[in-house]
Structure 1
Amino acid sequence: MESQRGKATRTASKAGAATRKVSERSTRVAVTEPRESPAAPRAAQLNVGKCGSVRESRSLQTQSARDSQEELQERALGARSKKASLRAQGAPPSGVSSTDGAEAPKPPVAPRPLPTRARSRREGGARSAREQRPAPELAEVPCSVTPARVPSLGVRERVPGGWKPRAVLDKLRLRRQEISAAAEVVNRVVDHLLRRLQDFDSEFKGVQLLRTGSYYERVKISAPNEFDVMFKLEVPRIQLEEYCSSGAHYFVKFKRNPKGNPLKQFVEEEILSASKMLSKFRKLIKEDIKNIEGIDVVMEKKKRGSPAVTLCIRKPEEISVDIILALESKSSWPASTQEGLPIDNWLGAKVRKKLRQQPFYLVPKHAKNGSGFQEQTWRLSFSHIEKDILNNHGHSKTCCENDGVKCCRKDCLKLMKYLLEQLKKKFDNRKELDKFCSYHLKTAFLHVCTQDPLDSQWHPKDLVFCFDNCVAFFLKCLRKEQLEHYFVPIVNLFSRKYIDKISKEFLSEQIEYERNNGFPIFNEF
């Protein structure tokens, strides 16, 4: 009888062991199987509660190793989304299941374990819990605009809110009455000088007018008080010799001209001297402005390295007029421009080909030579192409026309120019911003247009975000000390030979501050 009882006891013990093995196998399957339904995570948690073994942690580690990088990212994003949702509903930040709001299961406790195994199971459960915990969240800046990719920085950022770009632009908008009054005075001065040069029997008899600059590009801000014009002079049969592989500066030589050369007095050792020609040009203009009746106009002192003859009209309003002498060449563009003008995906390959068939210009802006300048050199100028691009800036041909869809490209450029203008006013007693000009902003802006070529990427409702993209790209250029010339890519406008690192760091810090605080400087001055 006793033997039968012992046999029955051993049989029941074996059956219980078999049942526990089946339970353990089902637990491992529940933990390692991918989640296929909302009930799956809950089932896994219940099984873990029955059998919290070290095998669970190892199983999770094995599955984690098999996960792809994309799945890990999706889990992290899902965890953040659920956590944010719970917080919005007033749920506790921790100790609550993300599935149904119930309390998180307690650490698994095995029935009557040995001390060593219990310690091992607790450690395994702790490791498993740490592995399942979502990654810590990055601090985010509150923002009223939906964040999107900032291609220039390569990271996802929030656009600071709290400022009204339309109100700023309205303040910058030129009034029609002011434009008419300023344009009338400037036209009188320019027309007078042009007629005198054409009538006067001199080397500049063939000059023609070419209107360029922000006013004619329709991106002038604040007031119509600055104008740029070119007096172009066609010079046929010239030969260019690149200066020190600069890409943008050239010596100009003449090929044989049987009719004689009207500019021969400016030639030194077969090279057309930019400094000599500019000096004579300034002299003639200085004499002519004395004969302009009814307008108080004077010539400003020559700025070292500048190609412009700057006139100041003092009455009735103070207006600055830069007159730039330019040599016009109708030959093929220099080889250094071959990879420039990257508008194929923006304005189209046909437009690029057509623009490159236009003449190019050389202005008397000298190349730097150590601490001085090489005064015989001329620099390439494509201001007429820039004006054409800005006035026909759409991916679609009807962008911003009367019946076309509007974009915010020009508004972004205006805001960028205003930002630099305001910073220069704020720090007018410092020299760090002296070498920065609107041309740097325009170049950066054109690169952003190349990166974002579609009109839909510049919708007026997205003005804040589009402007932030432009600012982000400009900051990236400052930090990397790299801003490619839009037409001559080998030229770095932020090279240390042009602008020192301290100045770039200073401007970067000021722009970053404004960007992070909603551009308070737009409301100053």
Structure 2
Amino acid sequence: MAPPREKATRTASVAGAVVPMVSARSAQGVPTEPSGPPEATRARARRSGRPGEKPRGRAPPSRAEDRAEGAAAPTREGEPPAAPGPPLPSSGSRRQGSVRATRERRPQPAPVEVPGPTESPGPLVPNPGPGLRETAPGAWKLRAVLEQLRLSRREISAAVEVVNRVVDHLLRKLQQGCESEFRGVGLLRTGSYYERVKVSAPNEFDVMFKLEVPRIELQEYANSGTHYFVKFKRNPKGNPLNQFLEGEILSASKMLSKFRAIIKEEIKNIEADTDVIVERKKKGSPAVTLLMRKPMEISVDITLALESKGSWPASTLNGLPINRWLGVKVRNDMRRRPFYLVPKHAREGSGFQEETWRLSFSHVEKDLLKNHGQAKTCCETDGVKCCRKDCLKLMKYLLEQLKKKFGKRKELTKFCSYHVKTAFFHVCTQDPYDSQWLSRDLELCFDKCVTYFLQCLRTEQLQHYFIPTVNLFTPDQIDKASKEFLSKQIEDQRNNGFPVFGAF
């Protein structure tokens, strides 16, 4: 791997820490010293708008979305301390430098993001500003990939019809059946399809069957931050969940077993034109997976979730760092929403602690992706289109294609789309402004996401977005060799123009 390019840097002291500051021209990959023949030097001077040269007229935008840019919003106070993950790298990667150095541009301002009084000191990341006027060379390829990844309306309609029919049948059975412990169950649609970031084909769906459990008490398991024992503060005789208690603890394994048995029995009563089976239980998985084989092959993960309308656990206090991105009010509103617990068991030695439940915020993740813009009109019909979700789709597809390419390699088995999505949320936090995600800057923004994910792999640091004390890339979660292998494959793809995308 070639050594990284040296950059001209200066340092600033923020809250007692010395932090590198990258110049605007260096961060954008623009040479700081003229080179080449005099004609090239004069051409660069005209493009850069240097003193003594007559500025060129500004070309009119080619699309409606190029007419407006999100103004940089003022920094809001009250942001929780940022997760101590790897810094968002400057956008001057080796590959980007050659792209940007050849692009005509106007002079770039060099504002920086300065942490507010309650934020932890972090890297000062240059704000790209409103200077990028042309589509980056190579962006056409990414747009072609995205076009191929668009789900067919006909396929979507057919898949959703089958899934809804099966899910609605099971939901009615649970709500009206004699098993009174599940009568209060409701439906919560989650996952990439409902987040509108599904790639390839509409062949995988995730749904939650939520069950409200009032007046519960959580006991954190082994300082994990994510896994808890569930107890009832008051347990009157008529509690229908009594049968699932192990002493005072609500047993996740018992409840999941009964839930699975009901579903397995009920699918026998589904119409004959839908061939559906329950797949074998995966060790440690909280979901009951259905495989539908007619009229098309579709996988549906149904997860039982306990719904609590109490305050979020203390481990989440500094999580969800969206104050500068979506606003303090949005964050407060989201934290007033219920949280969920799914029967995902904590690891205990070489096995699992089967009575534990894991926190889930998939409903909030769906809202973050649905309302992802700082401007409330972002990506709406009359608003400016950003490329946030496009970048996430490409990141998910990159991992998906690499796993297909190296299907028999064990190094990639533990990586999943949730790792990509978590890293993407952190990039959104560090680049909160809509002007930093303009649609025409797709290639630059995608490279920014790739670079951040590579930093996470190399430093073995990927903080949980809602529970910042939890690192998803610890050695006991994913071994170092696997992270090095994935890092090398992504680097090779980036250096060679992502040939794996040519397989779409």
Note if 1:208 corresponds to 2:186: yes
Of 98, 105, 114 in structure 2, the residue corresponding to residue 142 of structure 1 is 98
**Partners of 1:395 and 1:453 within 8 A in 2:** yes
Structure (1 or 2) with the greater helix fraction: 1
Note if 1:485 corresponds to 2:464: yes
**Partners of 1:160 and 1:515 within 8 A in 2:** no
Matched with 2:52 is none
**Partners of 1:163 and 1:519 within 8 A in 2:** no
State the superposition RMSD in angstroms.
2.9
**1 CA distance for matches of 2:22 and 2:454?**
30
Deviation at 1:89, TM superposition (A): 7.1
State how 1:284-299 maps to structure 2 within 5 Å.
284-293=262-271, 294-299=273-278
Matched with 1:441 is 420
Matched with 1:119 is none
Which of the pair has more CA radius of gyration? 1
1:328–1:245 Cα change, 3 Å? same
Deviation at 1:204, TM superposition (A): 1.0
**Partners of 1:153 and 1:472 within 8 A in 2:** no
Note if 1:225 corresponds to 2:203: yes
Deviation at 1:370, TM superposition (A): 1.1
1:139–1:359 Cα change, 3 Å? closer
Matched with 1:426 is 405
Deviation at 1:139, TM superposition (A): 8.3
**Partners of 1:174 and 1:221 within 8 A in 2:** yes
Give 3-state SS (helix, strand or coil) of 2:240's partner: coil
Of 159, 167, 170 in structure 2, the residue corresponding to residue 190 of structure 1 is 167
**Partners of 2:291 and 2:297 within 8 A in 1:** yes
Of 172, 175, 179 in structure 1, the residue corresponding to residue 152 of structure 2 is 175
Deviation at 1:168, TM superposition (A): 0.2
What is the TM-score normalised by the length of structure 2? 0.76
**Partners of 1:398 and 1:405 within 8 A in 2:** yes
**2 CA distance for matches of 1:522 and 1:369?**
39
Q: Which runs of 5+ in 2 are unaligned?
A: 1-20, 43-92, 114-121, 127-135
The residue identity in structure 1 corresponding to 2:152 is: R
**Partners of 1:313 and 1:319 within 8 A in 2:** yes
What is the TM-score normalised by the length of structure 1? 0.73
Note if 1:277 corresponds to 2:255: yes
**2 CA distance for matches of 1:80 and 1:248?**
47
Matched with 2:391 is 412
**2 CA distance for matches of 1:70 and 1:444?**
22
Deviation at 1:497, TM superposition (A): 1.2
**Partners of 2:150 and 2:199 within 8 A in 1:** yes
**Partners of 1:160 and 1:516 within 8 A in 2:** no
Deviation at 1:205, TM superposition (A): 1.3
Which range is displaced more, 351-360 or 163-172? 163-172
Deviation at 1:86, TM superposition (A): 3.9
Query: Could you give the per-residue CA deviations for residues 281-305 of structure 1, whole angstroms, max 9, x where no partner exists?
Result: 1111000111100200011111111
**Partners of 1:227 and 1:320 within 8 A in 2:** yes
Deviation at 1:510, TM superposition (A): 0.3
**Partners of 1:197 and 1:207 within 8 A in 2:** yes
**Partners of 2:386 and 2:434 within 8 A in 1:** yes
Matched with 2:367 is 388
Matched with 1:310 is 289
Note if 1:371 corresponds to 2:332: no
**2 CA distance for matches of 1:287 and 1:218?**
32
**2 CA distance for matches of 1:362 and 1:182?**
28
Matched with 1:460 is 439
**2 CA distance for matches of 1:155 and 1:425?**
35
The residue identity in structure 2 corresponding to 1:486 is: Y
Give 3-state SS (helix, strand or coil) of 1:416's partner: helix
**Partners of 1:153 and 1:476 within 8 A in 2:** no
Query: Could you give the per-residue CA deviations for residues 315-339 of structure 1, whole angstroms, max 9, x where no partner exists?
Result: 1110000000000000000000000
Give 3-state SS (helix, strand or coil) of 2:329's partner: helix
Deviation at 1:143, TM superposition (A): 2.2
Query: Could you give the per-residue CA deviations for residues 11-67 of structure 1, whole angstroms, max 9, x where no partner exists?
Result: xxxxxxxxxxxxxxxxxxxxxxxxxxxxxxxxxxxxxxxxxxxxxxxxxxxxxxxxx
Note if 1:267 corresponds to 2:272: no
**Percent sequence identity over aligned pairs:** 70
The residue identity in structure 1 corresponding to 2:296 is: E
Give 3-state SS (helix, strand or coil) of 1:217's partner: coil
Task: State the 4+ residue runs in structure 1 displaced beyond 2 angstroms.
Answer: 77-90, 138-156, 159-163, 257-260
**2 CA distance for matches of 1:409 and 1:80?**
30
Of 11, 22, 36 in structure 2, the residue corresponding to residue 84 of structure 1 is 36
Give 3-state SS (helix, strand or coil) of 1:82's partner: coil
**1 CA distance for matches of 2:125 and 2:243?**
58
